Structure 1
């Protein structure tokens, strides 16, 4: 069993993107500001007119943790979880799948990949660039 994300009106575009192999970031159609996580209104100008851009999928490790306990359904421990600063200027949290905990570093370059869990869920994961 895998822990599943909440999918709603504000995030459906993101999950549709991961299923298509795209990392989508919400944008305000009025002022152009990018934001993650997505939400109903622009935090800069308050407008409800939102769209998205497709990110390059490249980023830099801002911070990370190594999750050793408690167990996570569907995952083998330890799990490396990073805060990734995308080149587009927003920050995302995600699992790093190909870097051993002892090799993780702040500033490491990562690239997004996609883990197809089943027909309804594809998760973005991060790999060494």
Structure 2
């Protein structure tokens, strides 16, 4: 994103603050049920699998694969550089654990379904936004 574009940022609350600030140390974290081990995103107070209420932030590998994507060619605000890629990344830790994000450091025409990606973070005000880019293996393939 260019300097002139001001994106909408998430409102932080007691349930999601850890997620939006955990990228400060370069680590992706999501809630994980301490009863059954189920990862859950977005953060909610009850596990959808076992209905447990003991959910705590836990560390993920930050690796996954592109599940789906779209290339946006419209500039929705002054200074927004186009085209850019919005992707759904399927995280390695659990089937169905997905994150909608921007795919960076890759030309839009080079993005492929199943492409291995890894997380990195972009700081904007008081949040660290998780973005994904091709892993080193994908970049050299």
TM-score, with length taken from structure 2: 0.83
Structure 2 vs 1, CA of residues 74 and 115 (structure 1 numbering), >3 Å: closer, same or farther? farther
- 1:105 matched to 2:116? The reply is no
Task: Measure the CA separation in 2 of the matches of 1:75 and 1:44.
Answer: 39
| Runs (5+) with no aligned partner, structure 2 | 1-5, 136-141
| Runs (5+) with no aligned partner, structure 1 | none
Q: Which of 25, 40, 47 does residue 30 from structure 2 map onto?
A: 25
Structure 2 vs 1, CA of residues 71 and 99 (structure 1 numbering), >3 Å: closer, same or farther? same
Q: Is the 8 A contact 2:91 2:99 kept in 1?
A: yes
Shift of 1:72: 4.2
**What SS does structure 2 have at the residue aligned with 1:37?**
coil
CA displacement 1:39-65 (0-9 Å, x = unmatched): 111101222211022111111001001
Q: Is the 8 A contact 1:85 1:91 kept in 2?
A: yes
Question: What is the number of equivalent residue pairs in this alignment?
Answer: 128
Q: Is the 8 A contact 1:71 1:77 kept in 2?
A: no
**What SS does structure 2 have at the residue aligned with 1:44?**
coil
Structure 2 vs 1, CA of residues 77 and 14 (structure 1 numbering), >3 Å: closer, same or farther? same
TM-score, with length taken from structure 1: 0.90
RMSD value, Cα:
1.6
CA displacement 1:10-31 (0-9 Å, x = unmatched): 2111122112221002111222
Structure with more of its chain in strand, by fraction: 1
Structure 2 vs 1, CA of residues 73 and 10 (structure 1 numbering), >3 Å: closer, same or farther? farther
Q: Which of 98, 111, 134 does residue 128 from structure 1 map onto?
A: 134
Give the alignment of 1:1-129 within 5 angstroms: 1-69=6-74, 71-72=76-77, 75-89=80-94, 90-118=97-125, 120-129=126-135
Shift of 1:83: 0.7
